[in-house]
Structure 1
Amino acid sequence: MTQGAGRTDLSQERSRAHQRAWGWYDWANSAYVTTTSTVLISPYLTAIARADVCPDLAEGQRCAENLSVLGLPIAVGSLAPYTITLATIVSALALLFVGAIADRTPRPTRLLGGLAWVGSAAAMSMFFLVGTNWELGVLLIIVANLCLGASTVVYDALLVRIAHPDDRDRVSSRGWALGYLGGGVLLALNLGLLQLHETIGVSQGMAVRISLFSAGLWWAVFTLIPVIGLRSIRGTTLEPVARGAGVVRGAFTQLRATFGEMRLYPQTLLFLVAYLFFNDGIQTVIYSASLYGSEELGFESGQLIITILVVQFVAFGGALLFGNLAGRFGAKRTVLSGLLMWTAVVAFAFVVPAGAYAVWLVCAVCIGVVLGGTQALSRSMYSQLVPQGRESEFFSFYQAMERGTSWLGTLAFGLIFQLTGSYRPAILALIAFFVVGGLLLARVDMRRGIADAGNEQPAVV
């Protein structure tokens, strides 16, 4: 087995200062995830695509014309979920190489910063989405989501370096909580802009474009904190042959070896398959919530932003709550309980009546309770299952199924809408992802997987 040597003494890297600096990247990128991906970009992209093919459509009517993309007919309402699907396919291929390269770069935080700043530039460029140029929107979403996933590969892998196995549930949960708080703060500011746009003399479209720009700017500025705060961390110490192969050629060689070695980590592989399913469900709910709320339930942009604000601030507490529960009952049991809650939440969303905003807000509170905790604990659980010296490479497999790179769920969501013309059966179909993912996760033997990876056993799993 080709095994990275790793470091035997990580006491200096596992400091409170490093853990605090590390968590700020959740704060930085969550502005894009919340303001752009979750709330604004899907309805906005749908609106400018509708303006292209149905320019004379009366308000409240559904466009019956299709877009033509490479000769294929695409329903206007399916453009946003199909775009996420395409971004996922591109990311799933690219992130594997990013992870292998990240394990070989001497300064991983520089790579983190470079990827984040390219992604934030794409996010800020969404300001130029006007008129009917939905094609530019598709391109920018793909670039921004790819860079988000790639930078998070590096970021997640650093959790192993800066936190002891017994501390990872806590550190990961606090990072997620900080992310929800930061995303909520910027979203609240953007809500104010959208609600008061006439008072300050800007159109609603301009207010949306300014909000999209602000999310990219926030991402860029706050990325400085982890890049500077973790600058002393160096790349993994590799075997002489791997190091002599160079960054890119060595990455390709190691990636090929890793595919062959995955069978040696059956519990890690089983966890990844489980995560593929239940995280696809989570990500599709996140990306489709605003589309479902606007198109199926008839809520306005301001109401949707209030909804996401509720989710954000409840999720802040939910992530901390799940972190505490994991310390008492173990991360695996806590996540399985969370998946049962997710199943109930999706069923609840299916029966929310059109225009029933108060009922919709109750659904949002339920999502907030379970959202951050399941994601944060999944990250810390997986960190226990990856071999030393290969963290970024293994997290690239994980990140390919993480935020903004789910494709089974968004593909199913888009296809069901195209077949039925309604988002209700599309949202209900997501229950299957939580059920299958939960059944597979229940079969994962965490203790055995940690031992197979050669890692220290935490007190509670």
Structure 2
Amino acid sequence: MSGIADLRPVLRRREQNAWNWYDWANSAYYTTVLTVLFGPLMITVAGRAAGCVGDIDDSCSKTVSVLGLHLAAGSLPSYLTSFATILSAFLLPIVGAVVDRSGRKKWHMAWFGWSGSLFAALLFFLSGEHWQLGAFAVIVSSVLCGCSLVSYYAILVDISEEWERDAVSARGWAFGYLGGGVLLLLNLVLVQGHDLFGLDKELAVRLALLSAAIWWAGFTVIPVVRLRNHPPRNEVSATGSLLQRSFGQLWATLKDLRNYPMTLTFLLAYLFYNDGIQTVIGSAAIYGSKELGIGQSVLIAAILLIQFVAFAGALFFGRFAARYGAYRCLVWGTVAWMVIVVLAMFLPRENVALFLAIGVLIALVMGGTQALSRSFFSLLIPHGREGEYFALYNACERGTSWFGTLLFGLMFQFTGSYRPAIVSLIVFFVLGLVFLVRLDARRGITEAGNRLPGAV
């Protein structure tokens, strides 16, 4: 008698397709809000309170008082996002411990996501001279989004086998770039053509910020409906209150990390090369406008180009990893980042074609390295610790992402040019590569108790 067909791959693929939609949902918050529109609006509103006069595209050096500190209105968005990332670095491991003990990961993801989108919607009220509500809203929404991603990343392990994760993670990142790019395109049309819609520019920006919150909340419904909750695996026993159990598991994980030296090595590598990636992305507009004389319209086009090309880059690297392994792709991706920052240093002024060409290279490598970092790290996590370890992964990203911007700023201050500032970022990719080449991928996967995929 023949056996019944194994439907598990079909069911996994169905959940994987549903899982992708949360990347689509939350990426709109990062692109429309954090990357493009929040900063200029906050500077305008806080600057107005400080006594500056100008529109949303002007800068302001006057100060506002924050908890007794006098901070320049023009620097306030950077300070707020930095504070949110540092706060996240302390909170995320606690969230990860709770997630590991729960059989309701999708609901953790959903409630953190919906709560974050609610606070993001409050940015609509960032107007007049009332900057304080917007400052509070962006901090809380950013932290809550990070909390939702801990559960989201942990679900990846529940819905995919080891040999599937590179492709699954790549499709998720690709979906995220596409979703973030689509909404950003619509919002830039709204903001740039605000007169055609009978709106002033500030109101158009506020509506765009509100749309990102609605997009985030609305598309989160899809994975919530289609994903199943999976029971916790190899749950570590603990006693005491929920908070005590959370900190207890965090402390146990930090102590136990020494038993997984390859996992620690990768976290150190990721800490450095990801910091370089984030700084290149965050500094590209400044470098293009201030050093290369690239106009605002071209910079906007470059932002959109990067979003949509990164969609293809994530999918390409996912297929490449299936043949050659995620580890090799990450090594060569880090080398490619080193080449990019060197090429960027020698870009001629006002050469739009070469500037956009570098943007295409950035997008291709960015999509691949971010997607494969997530999937490769999942192979280095011992069973039952996915939430906690992904919290450490996110903490490495969020808690240290200011090193690159600090070096970039110091190099400009010392040299007066952004060219040595951009090429100085190569140090982060060199350090990341040093740790990557010291990593024995097969040993790390085996020590974590995971099965080796076909290609490593």
TM-score of the two chains, using structure 1 as the length reference = 0.88
Kept in 2: contact 1:157–1:395 (CA 8 A): yes
* Structure 2 residue 394 is matched with structure 1 residue 399: yes
* CA shift for structure 1 position 80: 3.0
Tell me how many residue pairs correspond in the alignment: 451
* Structure 2 residue 316 is matched with structure 1 residue 321: yes
* CA shift for structure 1 position 454: 1.3
* Structure 2 residue 280 is matched with structure 1 residue 277: no
Aligned to 1:214: 211
* CA shift for structure 1 position 401: 3.0
Aligned to 1:138: 135
Distance 2:399 2:25 in 1: 16
Match of 1:85 among 78, 82, 85: 82
Aligned to 2:257: 262
The letter for the 2-side match of 1:16 is R
Aligned to 1:408: 403
Aligned to 1:102: 99
Kept in 2: contact 1:39–1:305 (CA 8 A): no
* Structure 2 residue 230 is matched with structure 1 residue 233: yes
C-alpha distance after superposition, 1:85-113 (max 9, x if no partner): 21111010000101001111231111100
CA spacing shift, 1:348–1:204, aligned 2, 3 Å: farther
Aligned to 2:443: 448
CA spacing shift, 1:216–1:427, aligned 2, 3 Å: farther
Aligned to 1:182: 179
Distance 2:294 2:201 in 1: 16
TM-score of the two chains, using structure 2 as the length reference = 0.89
CA spacing shift, 1:181–1:447, aligned 2, 3 Å: same
Question: Which secondary structure state, in structure 1, belongs to the residue aligned with residue 360 of structure 2?
Answer: helix
Kept in 2: contact 1:38–1:290 (CA 8 A): no
Alignment of 1:19-418 (within 5 A): 19-53=16-50, 55-56=52-53, 63-66=60-63, 68-72=65-69, 74-236=71-233, 238=235, 241-242=237-238, 245=240, 247-293=242-288, 302-352=297-347, 356-402=351-397, 406-413=401-408
* CA shift for structure 1 position 71: 4.8
C-alpha distance after superposition, 1:24-59 (max 9, x if no partner): 111111111111122222333334444444624699
Distance 2:75 2:414 in 1: 11
Distance 1:353 1:132 in 2: 41
Distance 2:265 2:24 in 1: 30
Kept in 2: contact 1:75–1:418 (CA 8 A): no
More off after superposition, 132-141 vs 79-88: 132-141
C-alpha distance after superposition, 1:147-195 (max 9, x if no partner): 1211111111111111111111111111111111111111121122123
Distance 1:344 1:367 in 2: 10
Aligned-residue RMSD, C-alpha = 2.9
The letter for the 1-side match of 2:395 is A
CA spacing shift, 1:287–1:44, aligned 2, 3 Å: farther
Distance 1:391 1:60 in 2: 43
> Where do 5+ consecutive residues of structure 1 fail to align?
1-8
* CA shift for structure 1 position 402: 3.6
Distance 1:134 1:350 in 2: 37
* CA shift for structure 1 position 347: 3.4
Question: Which secondary structure state, in structure 2, belongs to the residue aligned with residue 15 of structure 1?
Answer: helix
CA spacing shift, 1:86–1:352, aligned 2, 3 Å: farther
Kept in 2: contact 1:10–1:161 (CA 8 A): no
Question: Which secondary structure state, in structure 2, belongs to the residue aligned with residue 458 of structure 1?
Answer: coil
More off after superposition, 139-148 vs 88-97: 139-148
> Where do 5+ consecutive residues of structure 2 fail to align?
1-5
Aligned to 2:431: 436
CA spacing shift, 1:178–1:430, aligned 2, 3 Å: same
Distance 1:326 1:396 in 2: 24
